Amino acid sequence: MEVKDMEINKKCEKCSNTKLKFSTRQMRSGDEGQMTFFHCPVCSHTFTEN
């Protein structure tokens, strides 16, 4: 699956970094719709939001 990483001004939950990478993925089934993946390049924390 192709993922495009972009930068966003959002604070990491684990450290004070405020520039996270994020990418979106379209879910093909169910009611999920679009999921957003956030990744902190400083502490490698990764989390998702719907």
**Interacting residues toward Zn ion by CB under 5 A:** 12, 14-15, 17, 40, 42-43, 45
Could you tell me the CA-to-CA distances from 32 to 7, 15, 37, 49 in Å, in that order? 23, 28, 13, 10
* Residue (13 or 32) nearer to Zn ion, CB: 13
The minimum distance between CB 37 and Zn ion, in angstroms, equals 14
The minimum distance between CB 13 and Zn ion, in angstroms, equals 7
* Residue (14 or 32) nearer to Zn ion, CB: 14
> What is the C-alpha to C-alpha distance for residues 20 and 22, in angstroms, rounded to an integer?
6
